[in-house]
Amino acid sequence: MARKKIGRKKHVPQRTCVGCREVLPKKTLIRIVNGPDGVGVDLTGKAHGRGAYLHDQRACWEHGVKGALDHALRTKLTEQEQQKLLTFFDRHIAEASVVQKGAEE
């Protein structure tokens, strides 16, 4: 009698949002990287450098910029880098969430 094959569940990498400390699947978070070119958003998830993750929520980004990213990336964010991250959130993430909410209604 042949044995049934037991299917394995695929491993889903987990990461922690530095803004709210919630653990979620890696693909649902946005990676911020401290790389050779300075601090920036890594949309590919593969850029070289030390990375940290944030939700797509304004509160998490504000908390991250105020100090949580400094600790996680082992650096001190400049005023310009902080402004760059918040501008990225306003332009790309805030607009995307408005579009998604509009599609649901």
Range of the domain at 79: 14-104
Asked whether residue 85 is domain-assigned, the answer is yes
Output the pLDDT for position 1. Answer: 63
Per-residue pLDDT of the chain (105 residues; tens, 9 = 90+): 677 777 888 999 999 999 999 999 999 999 999 999 999 999 998 999 999 999 999 999 999 999 999 999 999 999 999 999 999 999 988 766 655 555 555
What does the pLDDT look like over 44-59, one tens digit per residue? 989 999 999 999 999 9
Which CATH number goes with the domain that contains 50?
Answer: 3.30.1230.10
What sections of the chain are H helices per DSSP? Answer: 58-63, 69-73, 79-88, 94-104
Could you tell me which residues are beta bridge partners of residue 39? 34
